[in-house]
Structure 1
């Protein structure tokens, strides 16, 4: 029996690029089916992440034109990571493997051939890794590479230059379903599941059409989520910093006492002000980091659903066709 593949594609306001890339994805799926690499039951699953344009309408039309296209729509915009998770959880009981990939056509879809081949050789997770960053600006390349190095230094296990283009088996997804975090950073969570894994290298292209929906602010937010979700090292750094400052302060007290008995007391308003400002600033930064962790704990203990599916293109059971699914 051939392997059933579901290609998971998160979409947010992609009405410009979706008509172009959908044909590319279908061609790739068809070629894999014709080469007897995967089953004809394989599907392309679009996840509409609360788009405000005609993205969902396009997905519905694609599903009517070809049975290999299916789609689900979230009740509201929940973000890229939640959209990918929704697609993976939707597919885990229907297929043998999934490949998640962005809709913009930047990731090389031809890498899917090698991903499937690596799966058939025994790998449960296959990471799509960029071989180089020639298409990025210097600033983006510098910050992205620095981010991966920082994550590894913080103790988080991430694959260097890997985003969310990956093959994951249904076996891994069923174990991954036990991870209940609300604060998602998928590229750092899948290595925690374990199982045999490998990497496939590819060159990333320019976006085919439309504009990126991941500006600098969202990238920084994702980076901070990744650090605080996977590592407690910032808290340990605060502890070490507090210990160093306390030690220096203790030495300063001894120095002040010695100077007092030697009669060399000099009014030092400027130095005192600088010290107070320094310690005050450090305290505020430390409180901010601690507050960030406390905020994440607050969100986790609420156990709110990470996504809610409001619509599906597949309407086989009319009684349940509009039923919302919470996860």
Structure 2
């Protein structure tokens, strides 16, 4: 099988930087200033066209985020904004922004500026070399707490065991070409986990590495319970391995039950009476817990099927500027 080198591009691309925002009034001024400076410099250096811009997506914020976006857009053509009718979560807000991008390439980045904006020119260079997807990947996690490092590593290992293709230490900082974005928007499911969906596109991709910075202002919008919820979303929306594991667990439990039954019959045949009240009680509670856990996993999948069959729109745009 032959592999072909990437085809270098000659035309200067237009760029949309998509920034989902939820209650980001404290960090917004820093974010817009840094991204505007980056865009102006890239335009002057002729790395991107003058039609490039930043697209802020207000995900139903309850603070002054939308008014700040409007104010910035009214004073600078580099700033655009859309406002969702209500809070829909980071992944859907990101999809809403990407669906409005009409440029050659789009880069998604969070408003907290923890991802290194200096990687964006490098991503553009990788695109010009012929790549359709460029992932921003953390080079190390030394700045994280022990618990965060442990939970993140456990998360990636669990995803790998479950058969989900994703790039380790990559969040949602990435570049997509217009072709890759058009393909992504053809996914119609309600349950979105972009880190696992984008590798499914199969286009030529590469990575750029960076060290993540501290959040410059405001509070993190991804506490532990939200990260756990995202992990469950990723597993149940991209793989059916948990259902297969339930089947294997059921088969293993049946095998153990058969062996115990044979043991009891043999013991009774030889006149040995097993009192075993405690072991019976433990078995009942154990099997009851296993059954409830299995029903919960099955219910999670059934709930997702239920939501998918409704074919509801993922979001509504209330305002655009």
TM-score normalised to the size of structure 1? Answer: 0.94
CA drift of 1:215 comes to: 1.2
State the Cα deviation string for residues 296-325 of structure 1 (Å, max 9, x = none).
111111111111111001xxxxxxxxxxxx
The answer to whether structure 1 residue 61 and structure 2 residue 107 are counterparts is: no
The answer to whether structure 1 residue 254 and structure 2 residue 262 are counterparts is: yes
Structure 1 equivalent of residue 227 of structure 2 = 219
Moved over 3 A (4+): none
Structure 2 equivalent of residue 83 of structure 1 = 93
Structure 2 equivalent of residue 174 of structure 1 = 182
1:286 to 282, 291, 294: 294
CA drift of 1:214 comes to: 1.3
What secondary structure sits across from 2:115 in the alignment? coil
- State the number of aligned residues: 311
Structure 2 equivalent of residue 319 of structure 1 = none
State the distance in 2 between where 1:13 and 1:266 align: 64
2:279 to 261, 271, 288: 271
The answer to whether structure 1 residue 52 and structure 2 residue 62 are counterparts is: yes
Kindly report the root-mean-square deviation, in angstroms, between the aligned alpha carbons of the 2 structures: 0.8
Task: Identify unmatched segments of 5+ residues in structure 1.
Answer: 314-327
Where in structure 2 are the equivalents of 1:1-327 lying within 5 Å? 1-91=11-101, 94-313=102-321
State the Cα deviation string for residues 195-225 of structure 1 (Å, max 9, x = none).
1000100110000011111111111100111
CA drift of 1:103 comes to: 0.2
CA drift of 1:110 comes to: 0.3
What secondary structure sits across from 2:165 in the alignment? coil
State the distance in 1 between where 2:208 and 2:315 align: 30
CA drift of 1:194 comes to: 1.1
What secondary structure sits across from 2:317 in the alignment? strand
State the distance in 1 between where 2:142 and 2:25 align: 27
Deviates more, 1:169-178 or 1:182-191: 169-178
CA drift of 1:2 comes to: 2.2
CA drift of 1:275 comes to: 1.1
What secondary structure sits across from 2:86 in the alignment? coil
What secondary structure sits across from 1:8 in the alignment? strand
State the distance in 1 between where 2:200 and 2:12 align: 29
What secondary structure sits across from 1:246 in the alignment? helix
State the distance in 1 between where 2:261 and 2:274 align: 15
CA drift of 1:127 comes to: 0.3
What secondary structure sits across from 2:100 in the alignment? helix
CA drift of 1:252 comes to: 1.2
CA drift of 1:267 comes to: 2.0
CA drift of 1:112 comes to: 0.4
Task: Identify unmatched segments of 5+ residues in structure 2.
Answer: 1-10
State the distance in 2 between where 1:87 and 1:271 align: 57
State the Cα deviation string for residues 253-296 of structure 1 (Å, max 9, x = none).
11122222222122221111111111111111111111111111
